[in-house]
């Protein structure tokens, strides 16, 4: 056995990587491959959000109970802090989508730190693309509904005060920015943050577990224990990052809707 310079280089250790994000069928043979853990988690998350909001919106009292207070706090955070601040007068039409988006993202991101799941569904890029396409349809649809087909294209592609000789340069750039890079960056921002966070937790947990299981080397065992404790601290950071990414995704969706329906000044 040759000893590497680094403790984890001796050979029987396989570091976590992108292969840990591949999932196969939950019941191989009975169910197709796409019925995997992330899909089931996303469905559970959606059902959880629907059920919680239905329960929260029934039997509302003037003097709220603790549960109602909490639900109203969440609702007002999205309504006043995101929707009304950004969309101003006509925020009511988009509030249900924004609230659903925020709570769905929050629940699904926190599944990454929740026992039993321990995996954020949005660290698979397909789920993030799906939500980004939905947001794209909402903000492009809002623009077309308000300004008509040509009107919205004119508003989105031709900024005010651009001289005519610059238009051949500006129109393709604006088209790229509004219709292509916006949804892609929206999806990849969410995906990359959750993917990287889950990967960091796995590096510390799996590497720490390997170090703990080495015989006759107290230094390895102590550093393994420390890195497992550290992985718990990183999970606490991930709780914060999951909430932050849910917030940013919702704010940016509201922002994009606002730029497509705002009146020209």
Partner 1 sequence: MSLLEISGNLNMIGYAIATIAPALGVAWIFASVINGTARQPEARGAMMSTAFIGFAVVEALAIIAIALAFVL
Q: Rule CB under 8 A: say whether 95 interacts with partner 1.
A: no
Which parts of the chain fold into alpha helices (H)? 37-56, 66-76, 85-87, 95-110, 125-147, 149-157, 167-175, 182-212, 218-261
Residue 248 binds to partner 1 (criterion: CB under 8 A) = yes
Piece in contact with partner 1 (CB under 8 A), picked from 2-10, 27-35, 40-48, 112-120:
2-10
Which residue in 49, 86, 132, 156 binds partner 1 (CB under 8 A)?
86
Q: Does 6 bind partner 1 (CB under 8 A)?
A: yes
Give the number of other CB atoms < 10 A from CB of residue 120. Answer: 28
Q: What is the largest CA-CA distance in the chain?
A: 76
Least distance in Å: CB of 5 to partner 1? 5
Residue 167 as a binder of partner 1 (CB under 8 A): the answer is: no
4 binds partner 1 (CB under 8 A): yes
DSSP states of 58-96 as a string? Answer: SS--SS--HHHHHHHHHHHIIIIIIIIHHHGGG-TTTHH
Of residues 71 and 252, the one with the C-beta less far from partner 1: 252
User: Site size for partner 1, by CB under 8 A?
Assistant: 16
Q: Which is nearer to partner 1, 5 or 264 (CB)?
A: 5
Nearest to 210 by CA among 232, 225, 188: 225
Spatial distance between the Cα atoms of 204 and 237, rounded to a whole number of angstroms:
14
If the CB atoms of residues 71 and 156 are measured against partner 1, the closer one turns out to be 156
Question: Judged by CB under 8 A, which stretch of 90-98, 103-111, 134-142, 185-193 contacts partner 1?
Answer: 185-193
Residues 202 and 211: beta-carbon distance below 8 Å: no
Interacting residues with partner 1 (CB under 8 A): 4-6, 9, 85-86, 181, 184-185, 188-189, 192, 248, 251-252, 255
């Amino acid at each position: 056995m040759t000893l590497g310079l680094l403790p984890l280089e001796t050979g029987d250790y396989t570091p976590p990587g992108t292969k840990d994000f591949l999932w196969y069928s939950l019941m191989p043979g009975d169910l197709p491959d796409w019925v995997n853990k992330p899909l089931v988690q996303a469905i559970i998350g959606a059902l959880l959000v629907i059920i919680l909001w239905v329960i929260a919106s029934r039997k509302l009292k003037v003097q709220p109970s603790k549960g109602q207070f909490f639900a109203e706090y969440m609702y007002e955070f999205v309504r006043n802090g995101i929707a009304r601040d950004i969309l101003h007068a006509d925020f009511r039409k988009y509030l249900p989508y924004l609230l659903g988006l925020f709570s769905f993202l929050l629940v699904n991101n926190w599944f990454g730190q929740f026992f039993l799941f321990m995996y954020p569904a949005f660290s698979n890029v397909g789920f993030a693309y799906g939500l980004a396409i939905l947001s794209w349809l909402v903000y492009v649809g809002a623009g077309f509904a308000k300004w008509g087909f040509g009107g919205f294209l004119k508003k989105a592609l031709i900024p005010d005060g651009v001289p005519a000789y610059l238009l051949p340069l500006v129109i393709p750039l604006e088209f790229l920015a509004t219709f292509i890079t916006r949804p892609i960056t929206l999806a990849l921002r969410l995906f990359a943050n959750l993917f990287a966070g889950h990967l960091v937790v796995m590096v510390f947990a799996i590497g720490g577990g390997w170090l703990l299981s080495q015989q006759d080397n107290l230094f390895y065992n102590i550093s393994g224990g420390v890195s497992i404790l550290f992985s718990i601290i990183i999970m606490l950071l991930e709780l914060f990052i999951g909430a932050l990414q849910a917030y940013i995704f919702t704010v940016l969706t509201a922002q994009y809707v606002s730029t497509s329906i705002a009146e020209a000044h």
